[in-house]
């Protein structure tokens, strides 16, 4: 329903009732043949929205306020909910979150891959629905002269000065509070402003292990423009304070000159402690536990115990007998490759990031696994240069999915089985549509690594069609 005629325009404010959710978590309603996508909301809520885009058959809008709650809505745990962009679904029961995530997977495969009537298994839940993240990226900001530190305000680049957060650990918030206190009491330190491109402090990244009691803090800044490197020296003092009072085991200072707002430094210096953290994955299916080291810029899944469920499920679906030659494309620090190695003849891992491959090789040594080899470089080039033929291929690409050339090269080698792990059901479905020329989907298993959000990991097994 609406308080205005359906001939609305960009900039208009409407009152509507949300009908359903679209893949990715956007809310949706229909108005006289026009679909309106909203940036957030729950089915059953009556909301006020502002139209930001209008096309022939659909419009996009941002939610301004909730007028009435959904019937099954719950009270969010965090006081920042609705303002902070870190969570989308804290006002939805976890069981309902899993139902919607399963529907997202089903809708993507049906709509994009044309895969009808597939049996989608119920999502494997995260062992923890709060305090589950092992890594958080916080940004610095400025509010009337005070330096803030937290997450981005929903839909903007402004920073919410976090006083509470339930995604990582309570220890993380203690570190955040100490950093905030220190930077505000140190005159030489200023927050970077992406609009003026001035300021020093850019990002704070906190990584914690769940089972080995390690903590890495990384400060990402601009270059020091003060006399006598006052800013850099203050950062070293902060590292010492964190080590003494917060049991931080590694402190890293990274420099970023590029203006894009990404928590990554072009130059990285280990100020205190070791260059990496080591975590232990314990599996529920009888597989031997796995120790994985990761550097500051190495990719590691953010939910440790759910990752063990993800990798264990992927290995189970592969049904390795011990004789197979296995490829692990986009292997990261080697988690899937090393999990597969005890039940494979040989394993070959490929990853574009040299630091990740260094960690993968280190992890092979840590776990005394010898039947693996890792190559750093573009996956497409690595495939073109690899002469062997795999029996089983694991792929876990970035959110954008696989490059078409990579899909073609995999199909040229005709492995008997492909285990496709993805954090985006839509791009996964796109690749499945191409692979279906030679392969049949035989299993679909979502695994939830991201409670309180609309994101879902999904594993698809494909078997070569005879």
Whether 284 has a binding-site annotation, put simply, is no
Query: Please, are residues 145 and 161 in contact by the beta-carbon 8 Å criterion?
Result: no
* The CATH number fitting domain 101-127+303-464, selected from 3.40.50.720, 3.30.70.1400, 3.40.50.150, 3.40.1160.10: 3.40.50.150
pLDDT in tens, 362-389: 999 999 999 999 999 889 988 988 888 9
Q: What is the pLDDT of residue 90?
A: 97
Whether 396 has a binding-site annotation, put simply, is yes
Query: Please, are residues 352 and 379 in contact by the beta-carbon 8 Å criterion?
Result: yes
Over residues 406-428, mean pLDDT: 96
pLDDT grade for 6, boundaries at 50, 70 and 90: low
pLDDT in tens, 200-255: 999 999 999 999 999 999 999 999 999 999 999 999 999 999 999 999 999 999 99
**27 bridge partner residues:** 21, 38
Q: What percent of the chain has pLDDT over 90?
A: 85
Over residues 64-90, mean pLDDT: 94
Q: What is the pLDDT of residue 382?
A: 87
Q: What is the pLDDT of residue 116?
A: 85
Q: What is the pLDDT of residue 407?
A: 96
pLDDT grade for 93, boundaries at 50, 70 and 90: very high
- Token pair, residue 237, equals 């003092």
- Token pair, residue 59, equals 């419009």
Q: What is the pLDDT of residue 386?
A: 87
Q: What is the pLDDT of residue 1?
A: 42
Q: What is the pLDDT of residue 4?
A: 46
Give the 3-state secondary structure of the chain. Answer: CCCCCCCCCCCCEEEEECCEECCCCCEEEEECCEEEEECCCCCCCEEEEEEEEECCCEEEEEEEEEEECCCCCCCCCCCCECCECCCCCCCCCHHHHHHHHHHHHHHHHHHCCCCCCCCCCCCECCCCCCCCECEEEEEEEEECCEEEEEEEECCCCCEEECCCCCCCCHHHHHHHHHHHHHHHCCCCCCECECCCCECCEEEEEEEECCCCCCEEEEEEECCCCCHHHHHHHHHHHHHHHHHHHHCCCEEEEEECCCCCCCCCCCEEEEEEECCEEEEEECCCCCCCCEEEEEECCCCCCCEHHHHHHHHHHHHHHHCCCCCCEEEEECCCCCHHHHHHHHHCCEEEEEECCHHHHHHHHHHHHHCCCCCEEEEECCHHHHHHHCCCCCCEEEECCCCCCCCHHHHHHHHHHCCCEEEEEECCHHHHHHHHHHHCCCEEEEEEEEECCCCCCCCCEEEEEEEECC
Q: Which residues are catalytic?
A: 423
Query: Please, are residues 104 and 425 in contact by the beta-carbon 8 Å criterion?
Result: yes
Same fold flag, 13-68 and 101-127+303-464: no
What mean pLDDT is reported for the chain? 94
Q: Where are the domains of the chain?
A: 13-68, 101-127+303-464, 135-275
Q: What is the pLDDT of residue 285?
A: 87
The region of weakest confidence among 275-279, 310-314, 334-338 is 275-279
Assess whether pLDDT exceeds 60 at residue 34: yes
Q: What is the pLDDT of residue 296?
A: 83
Q: What is the pLDDT of residue 2?
A: 45
pTM of the predicted model as reported, rounded to 2 decimal places: 0.93
pLDDT grade for 24, boundaries at 50, 70 and 90: confident
Domain at 135-275: CATH architecture: Beta Barrel (2.40)
**417 bridge partner residues:** 392, 463
**464 bridge partner residues:** 439
Residue range 13-68 forms a domain whose CATH class is mainly beta
Q: What is the pLDDT of residue 370?
A: 97
Assess whether pLDDT exceeds 80 at residue 265: yes
Assess whether pLDDT exceeds 80 at residue 326: yes
């Amino acid at each position: 329903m609406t308080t205005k005629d359906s001939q609305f325009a960009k900039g208009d404010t409407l009152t509507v009732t949300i009908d359903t959710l679209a893949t990715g978590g956007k809310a949706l309603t229909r108005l006289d043949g026009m679909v309106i996508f909203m940036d957030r909301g729950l089915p059953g809520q009556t909301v006020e929205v502002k139209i930001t885009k209008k096309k022939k058959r659909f419009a996009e809008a941002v939610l301004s306020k909730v007028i009435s709650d959904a019937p099954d809505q719950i009270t969010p745990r965090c006081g920042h909910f609705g303002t902070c962009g870190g969570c989308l679904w804290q006002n939805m029961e976890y069981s309902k979150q899993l139902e919607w995530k399963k529907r997202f997977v089903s809708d993507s495969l049906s709509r994009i891959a044309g895969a009808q009537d597939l049996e989608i298994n119920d999502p494997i839940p995260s062992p923890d629905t709060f305090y589950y993240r092992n890594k958080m990226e916080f940004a610095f900001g400025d509010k009337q002269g005070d330096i803030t530190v937290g997450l981005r305000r929903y839909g903007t680049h402004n920073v919410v000065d976090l006083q509470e957060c339930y995604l990582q650990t309570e220890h993380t918030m203690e570190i955040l509070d100490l950093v905030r206190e220190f930077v505000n009491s140190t005159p030489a330190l200023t927050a970077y402003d992406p609009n003026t491109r001035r300021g020093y402090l850019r990002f704070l990244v906190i990584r914690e292990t769940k089972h080995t009691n390690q903590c890495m803090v990384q400060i990402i800044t601009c270059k020091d423009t003060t006399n006598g490197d006052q800013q850099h020296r203050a950062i070293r003092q902060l590292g010492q304070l964190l080590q003494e009072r917060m049991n931080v085991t590694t402190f890293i200072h990274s420099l970023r000159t590029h203006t894009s707002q990404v928590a990554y430094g072009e130059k990285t210096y280990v100020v205190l402690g070791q260059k990496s953290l080591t975590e232990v994955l314990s599996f529920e299916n009888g597989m031997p536990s796995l120790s994985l080291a990761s550097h500051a810029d190495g990719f590691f899944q953010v939910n440790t115990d759910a990752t063990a469920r993800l990798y264990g499920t992927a290995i189970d679906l592969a049904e390795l007998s011990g004789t197979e030659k296995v490829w692990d494309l986009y292997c990261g620090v080697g988690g899937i490759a090393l999990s597969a190695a005890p039940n494979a003849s040989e394993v070959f891992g490929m990853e574009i990031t040299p630091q990740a491959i260094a960690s993968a090789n280190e992890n092979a040594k840590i776990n005394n696994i010898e039947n693996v080899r890792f190559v750093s470089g573009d996956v497409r080039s690595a495939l073109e240069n690899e002469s062997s033929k795999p029996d089983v291929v694991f792929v876990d690409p970035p959110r954008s999915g696989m490059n078409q050339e990579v899909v073609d090269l995999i199909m040229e080698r005709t492995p008997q089985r492909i285990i496709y792990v993805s954090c985006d059901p839509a791009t996964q479905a796109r690749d499945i549509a191409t692979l279906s020329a030679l392969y049949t989907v035989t299993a679909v298993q979502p695994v939830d690594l991201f409670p309180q959000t609309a994101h879902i990991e999904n594993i698809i097994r494909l078997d070569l069609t005879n």
